[in-house]
């Protein structure tokens, strides 16, 4: 819920201050909800590692999250990336979250809202499964 609230703040600023139009309300709600769940399960997966210092996990998580920002089409559209860049971007859940929100706001998409949603659900399931397995492994 915290991530959703943080994500809605810039959205509201864009809608109110800059007059951004929402083309697909369902796509926007789906994009926000699926991305929040996906990245929450990513956090759960990393939180499954035992440590005395939570900062260790935050550092590891940032080591993963920050590169995702640069390969996901947030700064450079997927269509403008070279072939190898598109291949790498396909392994980032943020790519599909960004594509789904871009569809909701601009009406353009690289993969389609259905593919974006399915892939985000897949990443969510994988992160949750791996997190559960790690928790089970380290609790023994």
What is the per-residue pLDDT across 64-107, written as a single tens digit (0 to 9) for each? 888 888 888 888 888 888 999 899 999 999 999 999 999 999 99
At 78 the pLDDT is: 87
Average pLDDT over residues 50-59: 77
Give start and end residues of each alpha helix (H) in the chain.
2-16, 25-47, 54-71, 83-89, 93-106, 113-139
Among candidates 61, 48, 41, 44, which has minimal Cα distance to 125? 41
């Amino acid at each position: 819920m915290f991530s959703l609230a943080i994500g809605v703040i810039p959205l509201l600023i864009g809608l109110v201050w800059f007059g951004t139009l929402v083309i697909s309300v369902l796509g926007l709600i789906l994009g926000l909800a699926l991305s929040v769940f996906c990245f929450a399960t990513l956090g759960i997966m990393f939180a499954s590692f035992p440590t005395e210092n939570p900062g260790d996990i935050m550092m590891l998580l940032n080591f993963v999250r920050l590169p995702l920002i640069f390969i996901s089409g947030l700064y450079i559209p997927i269509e403008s990336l070279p072939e190898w860049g598109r291949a790498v971007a396909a392994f980032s859940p943020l790519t599909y979250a960004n594509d789904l929100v871009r569809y909701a706001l601009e009406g353009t998409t690289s993969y389609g809202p259905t593919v974006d949603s399915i892939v985000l659900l897949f990443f969510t399931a994988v992160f949750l499964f791996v997190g559960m397995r790690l928790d089970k492994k380290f609790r023994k």
